[in-house]
Structure 1
Amino acid sequence: MSFSLAIAILAASCVTCVLLIIVLRPLLQRYALARPNARSSHVIPTPQGGGVAVIVTTIAVAVISGAIIALTFDVAFFALLISTVCLAAVGAFDDLRPMPVLPRFTLQALTVALILATLPEQFHLVKSIPLWGERAILLLGGLWFVNLVNFMDGLDWMTVAEIVPISIALGVFGLFGVLPPAPTLLAVALCGAVIGFAFFNRPVAKLFLGDVGSLPIGLLVGWCLLHLAGSGHLVAAALLPLYYLADATITLLRRLLNGERVWIAHRTHFYQRATDNGFSVLQVVTEVFVLNVVLAVLATLILFTTSPYAPPLALAAGIGCVALMLMRFSRRRS
């Protein structure tokens, strides 16, 4: 895929998402208001469901772009599209009428399992682990990633600050042939759609993604990162979402150790604690965005550096940067 085509896809996706949101917004304001709860950072009811436009745009632009360049999509790609639509439906139902935990996680696990079932047998990331064992780990990891964006989507522009740097990095990797064409198309289309959504989600947000958007976005990004890892760049694939992984995982473990019911809404993620500690919403998302750009640069250095020391050094640097950010968010501003 050429640079000019990538820019065209990005622009088309951005414009399409904006137009879809303009059309859907009156319906969302009427039927899909998110009322403040224990997890919320907003204080007045705000329409959610902007993720419908993001997901529809991403899928449509990616498929049409693939058809224009005569790209042949495999079974795994169509399994991804089916799983994405199913997850969006689960999220939409949960937005309108909260779904019990067990059926929600069961349906999410089934969508991830469908994708893994269509991966070729030769897709094996770590040869020292039996294939069945690796697929079991990927199932748990995929389920966690599906919920990752949802858990972290608690501030205006937070998802934008995460997804835009990651998807741009994936698009650049694809331009240089590091990432296969299909995930590259998806990453670029998703980036454009999220940028379009950002116009309506800027602080103070007039529109939220909702589970209808956050769940399938987690699946799409996870699928792209899986293919990056499958291309021999496991460390780079871990670096790109490292902040989200660290914040959400540490918070989950801390709540489990405290005996809390982890499926109940809360405001104890590091980025949420930052706003309680004197950071403005814009300060938090700006710092997260800058951190994600740094992680993307570190991942890029790994891909285009031949030194065997580059991956461990970049990973150590990324972990250090994320740790500093988490500690900074945990302390009250003077």
Structure 2
Amino acid sequence: MIDMVLVAVGGAVLCWLVVRARLLFARSGLDLPGHRSLHSAPVPHGGGLGIVVAALAACLWLEVAICWPIAILILALVSMLDDAIHLPFWVRLAVHLGVATYVLLQVENGVPTWLLLALILLIAWATNAYNFMDGADGLAGSMAATGFGAYGLAFSSAGQYELAGVCAAVAGASMAFLRYNWHPAKVFSGDVGAIPLGFMAGALGVYGVLHEIWPAWFPLIVFAPFLADATVTLLRRALRGERVWEAHREHYYQRMVLMYGRHDRMCKQWILLMLSGAVLGLVMLWYAKWLGLCALLAWSAVVLLLGVRVDRRWRAHADGKHRSALRME
């Protein structure tokens, strides 16, 4: 535990240094506000590079399998290029699928081909889902600190100290990043941070299942808020025939910000949800593994009910704005 804390502190320091260096050039690489964004002033992006640097440093220092830092580095470089020139969606997706395939071929232990293909798609989805959810001040950083903190504790309890250290470094770096990303944000993560985080959330979750470190329900419980919001929102858009890869403001967290008028109020509620899921997952893993599937079903029901509540409030909010507009006319 002491070693994990030290690694987390080291990750936080590295991230802080990188973000401070990025802010020296705050007038370049700006994320400009638009009708589909939640911010009203230009904000520099690329702060997520600090988390990536912390993760890479931990991978090299702790001598984890080389496939992990290679995958993180490839995703970070391609995402940095995407932040700069906006690569076509199919190029990004091809890279995400390729990296997921590469890592799984290095760490899988004799799974059938059909399952391998399904896991590749799952990791690619987690990679993109995390990026879709990186649209409000403090949200993605909070999920990273909570989710990878839970991963780190679970890896450590299973004797996987190297990967536990990597997760601790990511959690610590995410906390340092929040210092500058909390509302009102001074810097955004950008794809360079969100894409590698989503990949690690998915790939490490799958790795833990394949190597019997935890059951499949554990990472699903820990990252349930992000996965549920991204999946339900994108399915709705797909059923309406819309381009799911284009920016929009239909995620639950986006609607909450629009209703509240503030990012931090939404984020505090989500942090409570994230922490509850992380604690539930760890308690089930350590003390009641046989109840894990029931816990996943119950937690999924809670998350979905909260989503229904947001839907109802959003409809009432939209109706109120419509009536106000009619009165003004």
TM-score scaled by length of structure 2: 0.90
> Is 1:85 aligned to residue 67 of structure 2?
no
Aligned partners of 1:30 and 1:78: how far apart in 2? 36
Aligned partners of 1:279 and 1:36: how far apart in 2? 16
> Is 1:312 aligned to residue 293 of structure 2?
yes
Q: Any idea what the Cα deviations from partners look like across 1:30-58, whole Å, max 9, x if unmatched?
A: 33111113431111111000111210122
Contact 1:48 1:210 in 2 (8 A): yes
- What amino acid is aligned across from residue 216 of structure 1 in structure 2? P
Tell me whether 151-160 or 15-24 shows the greater mean CA deviation: 15-24
How far off its partner does 1:84 sit?
A: 1.1
Write out aligned runs for 1:216-255 (5 A): 216-230=196-210, 231=212, 232-255=214-237
> Is 1:209 aligned to residue 201 of structure 2?
no
Distance 1:244 1:307, change over 3 A: closer
> Is 1:31 aligned to residue 28 of structure 2?
yes
Contact 1:229 1:235 in 2 (8 A): no
Write out aligned runs for 1:269-308 (5 A): 269-278=251-260, 280-306=262-288, 308=290
Aligned partners of 2:107 and 2:86: how far apart in 1? 32
Aligned partners of 1:306 and 1:207: how far apart in 2? 41
Aligned partners of 1:38 and 1:145: how far apart in 2? 26
Write out aligned runs for 1:67-82 (5 A): 73=64, 77-82=65-70
Aligned partners of 1:235 and 1:290: how far apart in 2? 20
Q: Any idea what the Cα deviations from partners look like across 1:81-120, whole Å, max 9, x if unmatched?
A: 1111111111111111111111121122111111112124
1:160 alignment partner in structure 2: 141
Structure 2 unaligned regions, length at least 5: 318-329
TM-score scaled by length of structure 1: 0.89
Contact 2:142 2:178 in 1 (8 A): no
1:135 alignment partner in structure 2: 116
Report the structure, 1 or 2, having the larger helix content: 2
2:98 alignment partner in structure 1: 110
Structure 1 residue ranges (4+ consecutive) displaced by more than 4 angstroms after TM superposition = none
Tell me whether 319-328 or 10-19 shows the greater mean CA deviation: 319-328
How far off its partner does 1:304 sit?
A: 1.8
Tell me whether 278-287 or 43-52 shows the greater mean CA deviation: 278-287
How far off its partner does 1:166 sit?
A: 1.0
How far off its partner does 1:306 sit?
A: 4.3
> Is 1:119 aligned to residue 99 of structure 2?
no
Write out aligned runs for 1:179-194 (5 A): 180-194=160-174
Q: What's the secondary structure of 1:37's corresponding residue?
A: coil
How far off its partner does 1:152 sit?
A: 0.1
Aligned partners of 2:35 and 2:80: how far apart in 1? 20
Q: What's the secondary structure of 2:301's corresponding residue?
A: helix
- What amino acid is aligned across from residue 11 of structure 2 in structure 1? S
Q: What's the secondary structure of 2:107's corresponding residue?
A: coil
1:57 alignment partner in structure 2: 54
2:323 alignment partner in structure 1: none
2:307 alignment partner in structure 1: 326
Aligned partners of 1:254 and 1:104: how far apart in 2? 22
Aligned partners of 1:136 and 1:168: how far apart in 2? 28
Aligned partners of 2:310 and 2:257: how far apart in 1? 8
Contact 2:233 2:251 in 1 (8 A): yes
Contact 2:60 2:69 in 1 (8 A): no
Q: What's the secondary structure of 2:23's corresponding residue?
A: helix
Q: What's the secondary structure of 1:50's corresponding residue?
A: coil
- What amino acid is aligned across from residue 325 of structure 1 in structure 2? L
> Is 1:42 aligned to residue 43 of structure 2?
no
Contact 1:142 1:219 in 2 (8 A): yes
Q: What's the secondary structure of 2:41's corresponding residue?
A: coil
Aligned partners of 1:107 and 1:172: how far apart in 2? 30
- What amino acid is aligned across from residue 14 of structure 2 in structure 1? T
